[in-house]
Structure formats: C-alpha cells, structure tokens
Chains A and B, each alone.
Chain A
Amino acid sequence: MEVDRVQNRKFLWQKGITYISFLLIYVFIEWVSNIDPFHNINITPWNPAAALIVFLFLQNGERAAGLVFVSMLSAELLIFGYSDNFAAKFWVCILMTFDYLMLASILLRFCPDGGMFNNRENLFAWVIIIALGSIFNGALVATVYSAANTFGGLGNWGFAVLHFFWSDASGIIIGLPFLWHLRDAKRRHAYYAATVKVETLGYLALTFLLIWIAFNESKPTSFGYFFTLFLPIVWASSRQGLCGAILCSVALQLGMVIAEQFGNSVLIELFDVQMRATVFALVGYFIGVVVDTQRRDAEILKQSLRLSAAGEMAAALAHELNQPLSALGTYGAACQKMLSQNADVETLRLAINRMTNEASRAAKIVVRLRDFFRSGSTLMERFALQDLIESAATSVREQCTDVGIALNVTATPDQMLVADRMQLDLVLRNLLANAVESVAEHTETLREIWVRSERVANGRLCITVEDSGPGIPESIAKNLFEPFTTTKAKGLGLGLAISRAIVEAHGGALVAEAGQHGCFKLYLPLASGHSAHG
C-alpha cells in the first residue's frame, strides 16, 4: 500500500511537471509568435502554437482538453493582460479547444499513421482537413469577437477569418510534421538517420543565404528572388525525402520570420511571408512523400528479388542435397546388408568412411545455403582478392574441365578488399556460371574463359570476366540487368539483377561490355591503397 502511494505520488509529480512545462512552452511560443496581433486580440499572422495543440490532441485525445484550455487562456492573460473583453476571450478559448480537438480526431480518422500522412493520397486529405479546420476555427473566433464588438464591420470579419485561417494552417502544416517526427524514440532515430548528414548543412546554408538575398532591401527587386527559395526545399526533399522536407520547411519558416522582423524590410508583411512559407512546405512535402514512396518500393523490390534468388538457390541446393543424402542412404543399406552377411570389419569400415564423406558433402551444401541467407545482412570483412577469385574459379573449374573449356585466371594483383566476401563470391560465381553456360552452348571451336583483375583509375579495382561465347544479344542488352531478363531457357533471369544490386551496395558497378564476346566488368572501390603485404 505504502509503495503504491509513493509510486502514485511520483507519477502525479511527473504528470504535474509535464503539464506545467507544456503550459510554459505554449505561453512562450505564443509570446514569441505574437507579431502584428490583429486588433490586440490573439490573431497573429504566425501561429506555431496551433501545431503544439493539435499534436497534444493527436497524442492524448480529449484528456488534453483541460490543459489546452488553461494554456490558451493563460497565454491570453499573460500576453495581452486582463481587458474588458475577457468574456469573449474566455468563450473563444473554449470554442478553439473544441475545434482543435475535432480537427485532431478527424486527422486521426483519415490519416492512418497517427494523424500524419505517409503517402500522396493522405497528404491531400491531411492538407484539406487542416485547411477546413482552420477556416472553421477562424469563422468561430471572428464571429465571437464580432458579437463582442471587438472589431466592427463585416469587412473586418472576413479579413479576420482569412488571417486566422492562414496563420493557423501555416502553423500546423509547418509545425505538426516536425513535432510528430520527434514524438518517440523510434521516429526520432529514423529522423536523425535521414537528416544528420553533411549535406543537411548544405541546404540549410543555401536556405539562409537565399533568405538573406530575398529580404535584402538595398536592392528593390530582391523580393523577385523569392522563387529561389524553392531550391533548398527541393534539394532537401528530393535527397532526404519527407524528413529533409520537414527540416528545411522549419528552417525556412524561422529564417523568413526572423528576416522579416529584424531585417529592415517594410515592403512585405508577415502575412505574405507565411503564405509563401506554407507553399514552400507543401511543395517539399509532396516531393518528399513521392521520394519516400519510391524508396520504400525500391526496397521492397530489392527484398523480393533477394527472396526469389534465395528460392532459386534453395531449389538448386535441394537438388544437390538429394545426391549425398541418397548415396548416404544407399551406403547405409549396404552396411546393413554387410552386417547380416557377417562381412569383415575392413569392408564395413570402408563403407562407413564413404558414408561420413557423403555426410560432410551434404553439410557443405547446407553451409552454402545458410551463407546465402546470411548475406541478407552485409558483413564487411578484410580478405585477399586472390582468395575471392580462387574460390569463385574453383566453383566452376571442374565443370570447365568436363566440357572442355579453358579457364584462364591471370595476374591477380596483391590486394586486400574490405567487403562482404560471401556476397561478392556469389556475384563472381554467377558471372562465371553464365560464362560457362554461354561457351558450352554456343561455341564449338574456341572454348575459353578469362578472369583478369587490375587496379584502374580513381582508386578502383576492375575484375573482368570474359568468355568466347557469342556475347549479349542486342535485343536484351538494354535491360540486361533488369529482373526477369534472360537468354536462358531455365532460370528466372534474376542473377544479374541481384549481382548488380550487391555490387552497387558495395559502392561499385557491374557493366556488360558490348562486343563479339561475352564480357562483364565488375568495379569495386578500394580501401585507400592497402596491398596484401601493406
């Protein structure tokens, strides 16, 4: 009981602190953003606090209503002081609380990811819901103040609604995605992973430079340069997706507000600045969402390619595994027969030796399969180029001898590589197997395969696999590396697609050289000049 009470008290304390901090942050933001208030009431051209409220409602639902109401009222009183229209302010705060709550619930309902968009379709819904919610809220607020005679005339009512709408909508559109992406450890981690990069400094610097140019009043035409601010937002969103777009939008917003306030510009109002900032943010979000979707799809495709390659590999290995298992079974049956015939120990031991050989042959096949699946996660290790080439060549050497193909491995330089050995091995084996198949099927006279490796320009290594086969037909050369492209009767044509994905993951390239013969070049970046004896 005592423990419970202590726990309970601790919990209440934490809750209290959270509430008070929210209140303080809210009042602070309202204070900071209290620029050009409309008729000395809480309609400002810039309202980031709205994003904070919607975020709180998205997270906690209607339980947060009390806190929101108290925060809004406190901000009114602390910033504008007690005045004769207190009753109107009181009612406005109540109405706005409900309106924000409604907006948050509609967002939760139509945008699946906790009230946030994650594809093009629900980005549309998200923007429309926020716009309609802000117009509705603006109309309510303006009506209440009109009724309280705070400002006169119908023209002013319309102006107030428009201002309220733009300030709220821009505040939520620019602020909410930023808050939402930082709301829990998982999202924060993903957000940092996408944006904590040197490149981010680049577009942020560009943002501030262009803002400085656009707001520089010494040149009267400067506002004409506003359009250049599309550059950093497009840069950020096309390179870093939605995360970059959100960061750049927030930077643009802050930069533009600061420039407007502290620059000596009088030609542009904050209201106009906000309209532009919102448009920049929306452009960024739309590009970012498309980029993210495309990356996700590419990832899914890569994953499914790996799966189908694994499937093909598994089918091939299942066939291979059947041989030693079958032989093992037959040797076993033979041993039983020997026992029933009282065979001598030596004969029996020979048969059992063969059984263990078969068992280890089966085990090796299983290891290969396991290694392949393991290659799903890249494991960088340091190994010698010779070992890589040798092991890949060994895999086809026997086959080459059988069908009379000369396999020439020439002049491999002393070179250490840092890469996923298993994956590169797979790529080389695949290239060699293709070469063998091509030569075996199509060439009668000159049956040769050459494997050369050499250091080339830009600190790269080039491994060439060339064969005396007919080369790649013109008709498929163009999409040779696309999945499901093949010249073979058997197989799905995934080998080269997978191989290229692996090589590119290593920062290298895999190219098919056009010509009379089959020729593939595999380029790999070298870790700054280490030789095997270095």
Chain B
Amino acid sequence: MDKTVFIVDDDPSMRDSLSLLLGLHGYRTAIFASAESFLASRRDDWYGCLLVDLRMDEMDGLTLQQKLREMGSTLPVIIITGHGDVASACTAFRSEAVDFIEKPLDENHLLASIEEALSRQEERKNAYRREAQFVERMAHLTQREKEVMQAVVSGKHNRDIAAELGISVRTVEVHKARMMSKLGVHGIPQLVRISLGLSAKPEIKTL
C-alpha cells in the first residue's frame, strides 16, 4: 500500500476536516472512528503515518500506540490532543511518537510533522532494505571470508588476523578484498556500521 495518513479520531468533524485538508495537500488518507476499528482492519504492509487523537472514549491514543509497538509495527505515530499534559507527552515520546500536537491544529506544524513521520518511515524502510540485502549477500561468503569479516569488524589489524587464522598477511588482504566486494561495501567504516546494526537486532543472525 502506498503512503497513507491514517486518521483515528472519535470526533466525526475532526476526521472529516483533517482528511479533507490532507487530501488537498496530496496525501492519501484513511479514517477510523476508534482505535479498535483501526486495529481490526490493520495490515502489516500499511505504510505511511498514524494521526491519532489522545482522548477517545474506549481505547485512547497512547494505548493504541503501545499496542502497535507490541505488534512490532513501525508505523510512525503523531498524537493530537485537546489538552496536552506533560505526563502523556512523555509517555508518547518514550514510545517514539514523532510529535505531540495540541488542538486547534496549526496547518504548517501538522504538515511538517507528517513529512517528518513519512521521511522517518522512508529512512527506516531503506535501512531495512539495505540490511536485508546485506544479510542475503553474507550468505555468499565462504567460511574463511566470514572469519576475516568478524575479525575486521572487531577492529583487528591484518597482521593480527593473519596470526590468529594461521595464514599470511597477503592472504588476509585477498580474503578481505573479496569479502568487501561480495558484500558491496566501500570501506571498513560502512562494513562496521551495517554489521553492528544487524547484531543489535536479535532476529537477524550475523553469522
């Protein structure tokens, strides 16, 4: 699904006016009258950002945000509220809300937040894609190349690696060059950054 702003608000006029305004600014919008109905129809491939009212009768905005995080959703969340208090703002930001906007909404502020939310998601998507690619390429490495990569990432010099693996420094250099070209990285720093990012995520195995 394409970039969409999902609006969850129990006030019909708020939903309608937001959807109208954002539509005019060229966003696709989808509206939901409650957090429950959003959760009921939600799909994993939904892409864009979530604009949710803090205070709603049944499930409130913060609970929805929490539920989505537990489900592993990466949809960025913007909280809108009639009366913001520090406690709920803290809760929202701790759960990585993009913004916490008070009603009446300022158009420019709202649009800027939505842009930021979308670009965050875009970036996250790219990073994810890069990581996935990297993992796929890693599968093509030989055992020796993987060992060399592990050693390089942990910051060892070629000479130390050679001593450790019982091969010549020259051979280490050859393995290293082949490994870098297979993975498509253009330098040690990039290699380190990507592999560290992967090891922080338990679901993606580095070795």
What residues make up the interface of A, taking CB atoms closer than 8 Å to B? Answer: 318-319, 322-331, 333-334, 337-338, 341, 351, 354, 357-358, 361, 402-403
Contact = CB atoms under 8 A, between A and B. Distances in A.
Contacts of B14: 323, 326-327, 330
Interface in B6-30: 11, 13-14, 16-18, 20-21, 24-25
Contacts of A402: 57
Nearest to A324: B13
A398 to B, nearest CB: 11
Interface stretch (B70-78, B92-100, B101-109, B157-165): B101-109
A325 B25 CA distance: 21
B25 A337 contact: yes
Interface string B140-167: 0000000000000000000000000000
Contacts of A328: 17, 104
Given A319-B82, A319-B83, A326 B105 contact: yes
B103 A331 contact: no
B21 A330 contact: yes
Nearest to B58: A403
Contact of B104 (A318, A322, A341, A403): A322
A165 to B, nearest CB: 69
A351 B104 contact: no
Instruction: Give the interface size class of chain B.
Output: 10 to 19
Interface string B22-66: 001100000000000000000000000000000101000000000
A325 B104 CA distance: 6
Contacts of B25: 337
A84 to B, nearest CB: 91
A354 B82 contact: no
B17 A334 contact: yes
Given A329-B104, A330-B105, A323 B13 contact: yes
Interface of B: 11, 13-14, 16-18, 20-21, 24-25, 55, 57, 82-83, 103-105, 107
Q: Is the interface of A mostly helix, strand, loop or mixed?
A: helix
A333 B104 contact: no
Nearest to B23: A334
Contact of A330 (B17, B55, B57, B83): B17
Contact of B83 (A322, A337, A361, A403): A322
A354 B13 contact: yes
B53 to A, nearest CB: 9
A85 B14 CA distance: 99
B21 A327 contact: no
Nearest to B55: A319
A527 to B, nearest CB: 40
Contacts of A330: 14, 17-18, 20-21, 104-105, 107
A323 B11 contact: yes
Contacts of B57: 402-403
Given A322-B104, A326-B103, A330-B105, A361 B13 contact: yes
A402 B17 CA distance: 22
Nearest to B11: A323
A319 B25 CA distance: 28
Nearest to B103: A326
Contacts of B20: 330-331, 334, 351
A354 B24 contact: no
Contacts of A323: 11, 13-14, 82, 103
Given A323-B82, A330-B17, A337-B21, 7 more contacts: A322-B82, A330-B20, A330-B21, A331-B20, A337-B25, A354-B17, A357-B13
* Interface-central residue, A318, A327, A329, A338, by most chain B CB under 10 Å: A327
Contacts of A325: 103-104
Contacts of A327: 11, 13-14, 16-17
A326 B16 CA distance: 12
B13 A334 contact: no
